[in-house]
Amino acid sequence: MRVAASLAFVVPGVVGGSEEYSVRLLRALADHQDDDVDVTVVGAERFFAAHPKLGGHATLPFRGPSHRRPYRVAIESTWLAHATRDFDLVHHFGGRIPARRPGCPTVVTVHDIQPLDMPENFSALKQRYLAYALPRTVRGADVVVTPSAWVRRQVIERFGCAPDRVRVVSSTSDPGVIHGTVHPVVASLGDRPLIIYPAVSHPHKNHRVLLDALPAVIEAHPDVLMVFTGGTGRCAAPLEAATRALDPEGRHIRHLGRVEAATLAELTARADVMAFPSRYEGFGLPVLEAMHRGTPVVAASTTALPEVLGNAGVLVDPGDVEGWAAALSGLLSNDMRRAELAVAGVARAEAYSPAASSAALLSVWRDAVS
């Protein structure tokens, strides 16, 4: 079975969790796929430069200004359709299928439907495009893959899909090993109580609730440090202004921006707690990564986060400032509870093993072809 895995949508470091989900899954697949499955990864040249190790899969790169969305859309509907005409299956990992496709079966991964649920977070142009593209994609694909059961239910209910056409293929934890030496950024944090929130500063990521809760946490833990990592989103400017007003001397809040994967893994392992107050998640990879690293998690009690976290963490309403302050302060004060959640988190993360996710993906592909 020849499968073309299209990651033509990826602009490295820009598209967020959908890039990490796709890359992790393909790397895991390389170690667990069957001999009769031949995977070719399709993407821009800059994508393969950013991800040189994809487990030995064959690659099919395209050139050009891939940072421009109209160019990527055109590539998918012209060059990609021709280049994959001899494959048995094409899997589009970017949430939509192109207007023109080869005659083989088509699988698409829909990471979430936030553009329809929270249209205010998107430009008017993107709203109109996705309001058209998402329903057409779901109707046109042979199988729709979602990263969580929550997104699966959303797709079935919103688009009226037959349940057997929508399948869950969860993400997987990162097996990468933390470097033996401490990264200078991590070393600079010292041994203070550390809360980390890794997220791009988009509106739905809800950084503000942590800033509003922080004064009460500082009152209970005067040495606490809250670290934000992640790229620049639409809320970057107001987030920085609120940070300056709350912590003008920079004693309790640090914005590190986007950091390398190994550094983020080290920060996650070093943290006493990961806070994850996002109002909308199709999965929540940082939560899985925290559990995998044995870091206790306080997450928002909404969308897919309760499904991923299970009973291995603390859930708080994303708008409950007092609840966040109490949950964070309580965990920082309770070594035994943190240790219990660390053990529970590691056990919970095992459910999202590379072998399990690879098996689920292979099952989807075989069913789509047959």
Indicate the range of 197-201, 262-266, 298-302, 323-327 predicted with least confidence.
262-266
- CA dihedral sign of residues 16, 17, 22, 23: positive
In a domain, 21, yes or no: yes
Q: What is the CATH number of the domain that holds 103?
A: 3.40.50.2000
Reduced to 3 states (helix: H, G, I; strand: E, B; else coil), residue 239 is: helix
Regarding whether 193 and 47 lie in a shared domain, the answer is no
In a domain, 102, yes or no: yes
In a domain, 178, yes or no: no
Regarding whether 295 and 268 lie in a shared domain, the answer is yes
Measured N-to-C along each axis, helices 124-140 and 149-159 cross at an angle, to the nearest 10 degrees, of 90
Regarding whether 228 and 343 lie in a shared domain, the answer is yes
Regarding whether 243 and 145 lie in a shared domain, the answer is no
In a domain, 342, yes or no: yes
Q: Which residue has the higher pLDDT, 217 or 49?
A: 217
Regarding whether 58 and 39 lie in a shared domain, the answer is yes
In a domain, 179, yes or no: no
Regarding whether 314 and 296 lie in a shared domain, the answer is yes
In a domain, 177, yes or no: no
Which of 297, 301, 328, 329 is CA-nearest to residue 313?
297
**178's torsion region: left (phi>0), alpha (psi -120 to 50) or beta?**
beta
Q: How many Å apart are CA 262 and CA 20, to the nearest integer?
A: 13
Regarding whether 342 and 199 lie in a shared domain, the answer is yes
pLDDT of 177 above 60: no
Regarding whether 95 and 24 lie in a shared domain, the answer is yes
Average pLDDT of the residues in 313-341: 98
CB 46 within 8 A of CB 12: yes
pLDDT of 55 above 90: no
Buried (b) or exposed (e) across 24-45, using 16+ Cβ within 10 A? Answer: bbbbbbeebbeeebebbbbbbe
- Which of 7-21, 37-51, 122-136 has the highest average model confidence (pLDDT)? 37-51
Residue range of the domain that includes 115:
2-172+353-369
Average pLDDT of the residues in 60-83: 85
Q: Which residue has the tokens 């470097």?
A: 179
126 sits in which H/E element? helix 124-140
Regarding whether 242 and 134 lie in a shared domain, the answer is no
pLDDT of 179 above 60: no
pLDDT in tens, 180-200: 667 888 888 889 999 999 999
Regarding whether 143 and 50 lie in a shared domain, the answer is yes
CA neighbours closer than 13 Å in the CB half-sphere of residue 13: 15
What is the reported pLDDT for 17?
Answer: 82
Name the domain count of the chain: 2
pLDDT of 247 above 90: yes
Regarding whether 160 and 56 lie in a shared domain, the answer is yes
Regarding whether 257 and 166 lie in a shared domain, the answer is no
Mean confidence (pLDDT) of the chain: 92
